[in-house]
């Protein structure tokens, strides 16, 4: 089933519960970190951290509740989390494009990126999108390669819980509007 998606800026007071529901609907993500479910307050903590981090933006991926009827409202089915001007002034660092499992493999993540990319290109000074993918997350590596991201050859190890994870960095030029 094909439908239109939109990206909306998230605010903790209005969207924390809906984001927590998205988190609950991606058990495979949490399983990568040996968790059976997201911590109960994960959405609220993430949104508080975003509010305190310069340039960080969390956007909900939403779809219409009833096709063709905007008045029916929207359902949050995913998240795009990114930071402008970090780690360099011309970069937008994509922290996450997450889609709830019932909506995966339907092109939603691709639509979210294609919606976000021109917005990023319109931001002053932003020319490149960068992200880090856990080396064992083959699905994400394939997805971002499909979107035009390329491995940079850089990597970094970081501790997630009780294990060390290697992040492989990927980038794509986003261009300027009108190019």
Model confidence pLDDT, tens digit, residues 33-64: 888 999 999 999 999 999 999 999 999 999 98
Q: Which pTM was predicted?
A: 0.90
**Residue 148 placed within a domain:** no
Judge whether 93 lies within some domain.
yes
Tell me whether residue 172 is in a domain: no
* pLDDT at residue 1 in the model: 54
At residue 31, the 3 state secondary structure works out as helix
Within a domain: 137: no
Domain range spanning residue 115?
6-129
Count: domains in the chain: 1
- pLDDT tens digits, one per residue of 127-177: 999 999 999 889 999 999 999 999 999 999 988 777 788 999 999 999 755
* Residue 72 backbone zone (phi > 0: left; psi -120 to 50: alpha; other: beta): alpha
Question: CATH no. for residue 91?
Answer: 3.40.630.30
């Amino acid at each position: 089933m094909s439908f239109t998606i939109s990206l909306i800026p998230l605010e903790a007071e209005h969207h924390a519960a809906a984001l927590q529901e998205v988190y609950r609907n991606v058990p495979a993500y949490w399983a990568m970190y040996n968790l059976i479910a997201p911590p109960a307050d994960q959405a609220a903590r993430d949104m508080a951290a975003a509010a305190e981090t310069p340039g960080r933006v969390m956007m909900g991926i939403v779809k219409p509740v009833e096709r063709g009827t905007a008045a029916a409202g929207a359902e949050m089915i995913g998240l795009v989390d990114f930071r402008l001007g970090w780690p360099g002034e011309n970069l937008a660092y994509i922290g996450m494009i997450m889609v709830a499992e019932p909506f995966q493999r339907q092109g939603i993540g691709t639509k979210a990126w294609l919606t976000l990319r021109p917005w990023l290109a319109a931001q002053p000074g932003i020319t490149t999108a960068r992200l880090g993918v856990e080396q064992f997350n083959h699905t994400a590596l394939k997805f971002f390669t499909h979107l035009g991201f390329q491995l940079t050859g850089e990597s970094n190890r970081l501790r997630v819980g009780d294990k060390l994870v290697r992040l492989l960095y990927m980038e794509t030029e986003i261009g300027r509007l009108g190019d």
